[in-house]
Amino acid sequence: MDMDSYLSRAIRNWAARHHPPKNGKARLLLIAAASSRPVEEPRLDLRNVNRFGRPLMDGAFGPVILANMYSFHMSITSLRMII
């Protein structure tokens, strides 16, 4: 046997003792599916600078209100009904 055949067979024997993980495909497809999910429609960014040069939702409570827009809307509506 020559050097090339020896190395070739020995390296292949080493590699052949190892197999790809069994759950590899499922995991791959899961990650790929998550990464290819369509991006949501961009919402109107209320923090954009308005014509007065200040963001509409500036200040400490701006991000809190934006994150809880529904609750905020409901509480304002209830308040108006009471008044």
Partner 1 sequence: MDRKTDRELVLQLQSGSLEALGELYDRYQTMVYRTALVIANDSSAAEDLLQDVFLRLHRFADHIDSNRPLEPWLYRMTTNLAYTYVKRNRRWFGPLEDFAEWLVGAERHNPHDSVEQSDDWQQVQKAVSTLPLSQRVVVVLYYLNDLSLQEISEILEVPVGTVKSRLHYGRQTLKKKLGIHSDMLPDLNHESP
Site residues for partner 1 per CB under 8 A: 1-4, 6-21, 24-25, 27-29, 31-33, 35-36
CB 79 within 8 A of CB 71: no
Contact call for residues 46 and 66 (beta carbons, < 8 A): yes
Q: How far is the CB of 39 from partner 1 (least distance, A)?
A: 14
Residue 72: count of CB within 10 angstroms of its CB: 14
Of residues 17 and 80, the one with the C-beta less far from partner 1: 17
Q: For partner 1, which is the closer residue by CB, 15 or 82?
A: 15
Shortest distance, position 68 Cβ to partner 1, whole Å: 35
Q: How many CA atoms lie within 13 A of 61 on its CB side?
A: 3
* Cβ 40 to partner 1 shortest distance, Å: 18
Question: What's the token pair of residue 7?
Answer: 């190395």
